[in-house]
Amino acid sequence: MKIDIKKSTKTVKYSDAIEFLEKRVNDVIHNKSNELVWILEHPSTFTAGKTYEKDEILDKNINIIETSRGGKITWHGPGQLICYFVVDLNKRKKDIRKFINIIENTIIQTLKKYKINSFSDRKNIGIWVKKNKEIKKIAAIGIRVKKWIAYHGFSLNVNNNLDNYNKIIPCGIKNKEITNLKLIKNQSYKNIKKEIIGNFVNNLNNEVF
């Protein structure tokens, strides 16, 4: 299946990205467009999924954008890579858990390239790392499905400002911290976009799925 690859070099406003994404979903439903994998960064933005609670907003002065994705509150901004996708599960396996596994494995494989060990957690969705006996979150996943078209995406913290997470309870998890790749291992992540795209597309096209 043909997957369009889109890479934005400038930050993209959250509302503009979602508008583009939802149009692509409808186009895929009506067989007017190919599937999509889109790498970008947002300006500083707080978004809330369908299951968030008001008490998860610690700083009442911030602006929260309520979204149609699953999950709780999170922050997006410079230094964090966003990978949006529109994937037609009608032409693959109609298995949401399997699809989530593909996303998790994509991130884990990508980080292995940089000698960083990470893992998924069925209870707390996302990707986690362990450093100095502490378990911290490095990537978040948020998915919505419409007529078996899976969309929205995942985020990976590379060198973003973590202070923004102090204004919320990220993903509704109180007892775990957020980190980024630069803090885990101070090295170059210049080609990480290419690695993510390559691993994700390969995993999607894997005959097992």
The answer, yes or no, to whether residue 208 has pLDDT greater than 70, is no
Phi and psi at 146, nearest 5°, equal -130, 115
Catalytic: which of 127, 140, 168, 171? 171
Task: List, for residues 111-170, the tens digit of each pLDDT value.
Answer: 999 999 999 988 888 999 998 889 999 999 989 999 999 999 999 999 999 999 999 998
Degrees, nearest 5: CA angle 128-164-68 = 75
Tokens of 126: 């996302």
Average pLDDT rounded to a whole number, residues 27-48: 96
Q: How many domains, in total, are found in the chain?
A: 1
pLDDT, residue 207, reads 52
The pLDDT value recorded for residue 71 is: 76
Annotated active-site residue 171? The verdict is: yes
Among 112, 120, 161, 114, smallest CA distance to 137 is for 120
Q: What is the pTM of this model?
A: 0.92
- pLDDT tens readout for residues 80-113: 999 999 999 999 889 999 999 999 999 999 999 9
Q: Convert 24-84 into a string of H (helix), E (strand) and C (coil).
A: HHHHHHCCCCCEEEEEECCCCEEEECCCCCHHHECCCCCCEEECCCCCCEEEECCCEEEEE
pLDDT at residue 176, rounded to an integer: 80
**Residue 159 and residue 81 in contact, taking contact as beta carbons nearer than 8 Å:** no
> What backbone torsions phi and psi does residue 128 show, to the nearest 5 degrees?
-125, 155
DSSP-derived letter for residue 189 is -
pLDDT of residue 63: 93
Q: How many CB atoms lie within 10 A of CB 15?
A: 11
The CATH code of the domain that includes 155 is: 3.30.930.10
Range of the domain at 96: 3-205
**148 closest CA partner among 184, 202, 185, 99:** 99
Amino acid identity, position 47 = T
Q: What are phi and psi of 155, to 5 degrees?
A: -125, 150
Q: Which of 62, 64, 7, 5 is nearest to 205 (CA)?
A: 5
pLDDT above 70: percentage of residues in the chain: 98
Percent of the chain with pLDDT over 90: 77
pLDDT at 142: 87
Residue 175 has pLDDT above 80, yes or no: no
Rg (CA), the chain: 16
* Most confident region among 53-62, 65-74, 121-130, 152-161 by mean pLDDT: 152-161
